[in-house]
Amino acid sequence: DVKVTQSSRYLVKRTGEKVFLECVQDMDHENMFWYRQDPGLGLRLIYFSYDVKMKEKGDIPEGYSVSREKKERFSLILESASTNQTSMYLCASSSPGGGNGELFFGEGSRLTVL
Amino acid sequence: GEDVEQSLFLSVREGDSSVINCTYTDSSSTYLYWYKQEPGAGLQLLTYIFSNMDMKQDQRLTVLLNKKDKHLSLRIADTQTGDSAIYFCAERGDESNTGKLIFGQGTTLQVKP
């Protein structure tokens, strides 16, 4: 069964803390994505990566960074968490070329910043 | 830039048909998708349609695509309480292998018994 696993389902952090959100996929996909989900705003793309050590900014990259040292792992980093980063974070992966371009999603990480 | 719009809420009675609508702006979209998100879970692909198609049917689901008006709809026949979820419309532009999708705001479908 194909899988995207996000390490933490729920996190509570304090303002100013550094936060790591980890995502691992077992499908050998080249593309990986971090989206943020907020009610009424849908999913907004933060960063994506199409290869190891490659990254591209999405629509809302401010306040975030990413790391992709291995093909299967894509990390989202909040250098100094702020209350407006309280949200649901969704990781996804896909394979480029062929097929229907489907994104496979993890279960999400709900982050609360106090 | 590219944009995808959906209404936020739809309420139907069990057994009725549900129709969820979506509009998009990118005329170069290659694929359009419907994803379903159940409470506390990630998104799962429900169905998709290629841009050269007008309609796709899959059991209780019917997808209609009007490219001229850039309008996509999802019809769920005989809606059940288990269909209660958030439904996201998404489009993939012609950006080759970036693979990124643009999502709408999500429509919460409430099915009343």
> Rounded mean pLDDT of chain A?
93
Residue B80 one-letter amino acid:
Q
Residues in A closer than 8 angstroms to B48, CB to CB, are 100, 102
pLDDT at B95: 59
CB-based contacts of B51: which residues, under 8 Å, 6+ apart? Answer: B29, B30, B31, B32, B65, B67
Residues in A closer than 8 angstroms to B99, CB to CB, are 31, 33, 48, 50, 94-96, 101, 103
Model confidence at A97, in pLDDT bands (50, 70, 90)?
Answer: low
SS3 B98: helix
CB contact under 8 A, B97 and A48: no
Q: What is the pLDDT along chain B (113 residues), one digit of tens a residue?
A: 678 999 999 999 999 999 999 999 887 778 899 999 998 889 999 999 998 899 999 999 999 999 999 999 999 999 999 999 999 999 987 555 577 899 999 999 999 99
Q: Which of B71, B76, B73, B82 is nearest to B27 (CA)?
A: B71
pLDDT at B92: 86
> Is the Cβ of B52 closer than 8 Å to some Cβ of chain A?
no
Residues in A closer than 8 angstroms to B108, CB to CB, are none
**Percent of chain A surpassing pLDDT 90:** 85
pLDDT tens digits along A20-49: 999 999 999 999 999 999 998 999 999 999
CB-based contacts of A60: which residues, under 8 Å, 6+ apart? Answer: A36, A44, A45, A46
Adjacent-strand bridge partners of A10: A110
Is B79:B111 a contact under the CB 8 Å cutoff? yes
Q: Please list, residue by residue across B79-93, b when 16 or more beta carbons sit within 10 angstroms of its beta carbon and e when fewer do.
A: beeebbbbbbbbbbb
- Cα A106–Cα A45–Cα B108 angle in degrees, nearest 5: 65
